[in-house]
Structure 1
Amino acid sequence: MSEFHNLAELALNREGQSWGNLGYWKTAIDYSDACRALALLLGEQAGLDRQSVIFDAGFGCGDQLLLWLEHFRVAQVHGANLSRSQTAHAREKLTEAGFPGAATTIVEGDINDPDIWSATLGTNHPSHILALDCAYHFPDRAAFFATAQQHLVPAGRLALTDFMLSDHPQMGPLAHRLLRWMLKRAHIAEANIVRQDRYRRQLREAGFGEIHILDISEQVMPAFAAYIQALRHKQPAERGRTKLGWTALVKYTVTSRFLKWAYDRSILRYYVISGTRTRRG
Structure 2
Amino acid sequence: MTEFHDLAELALNRDNQSWGNLGYWKSATEYSDACRALALLLGEQAGLDSQSEVFDAGFGCGDQLLLWLTDFRVAEVRGVNLSRSQTAFARTKLAAAGFKAAAIVQGDINNSETWHVALGGNRPSHVLALDCAYHFPSRQAFIAQAHRQLAPAGRIALTDFMLSDRHRSGSFTHRLLVWMLKRSHIAETNIVHRARYLDQLRTAGFEEVRITDISQHVMPGFASFVRTSPASAKADWPARLKHAVTGRFLQWAYRRSVLRYFVISATRSGR
For the pair 1:212 / 2:203, whether they are aligned, the reply is no
Match of 1:247 among 209, 225, 238: 238
Aligned to 2:162: 164
CA-to-partner distance for each residue in 1:209-234, whole Å, 9 max, x for gaps? 00000100000001111111112xx5
Q: What TM-score do you get using the length of structure 1 for normalisation?
A: 0.94
Instruction: Give the corresponding residue for 2:116.
Output: 118
Tell me if 1:268 matches 2:259: yes
Query: Which residue in the other structure is 2:180 paired with?
Result: 182
Cα 1:171–1:258 shift into 2, 3 Å: farther
Give the distance between the partners of 2:98 and 2:117, measured in 1 at CA. Answer: 22
Gaps of 5+ in 1: none
CA deviations on 1:73-100 (whole Å, 9 max, x unpaired) are 0000000000000000000000000013
Corresponding position of 1:93:
93
How far apart are residue 170 of structure 1 and its match? 6.9
Cα distance in 2 for residues equivalent to 1:171 and 1:112: 27
Letter in 2 for 1:256: G
Q: CA deviation at 1:239?
A: 6.2
Given that residues 131 and 158 in structure 2 are in contact (C-alpha distance below 8 angstroms), is that contact kept between their aligned partners in structure 1? Answer: yes
CA contact (8 A) 1:164 1:270 kept: yes
- The secondary structure found in structure 2 opposite 1:4 is coil
Larger displacement relative to structure 2 (247-256 or 206-215): 247-256
TM-score calculated relative to the size of structure 2: 0.97
Q: Which runs of 5+ in 2 are unaligned?
A: none
Structure 1 match to 2:58 = 58
Q: Is this contact kept in 2: 1:170–1:265, CA < 8 A?
A: no
Q: Secondary structure at the match of 1:211?
A: strand
Q: Residue 177 of structure 1: CA displacement? A: 1.8
Q: Corresponding residue for 2:249?
A: 258
- Please give the secondary structure, in 1, of the residue aligned with 2:103: strand
Corresponding residue of 1:224: 222
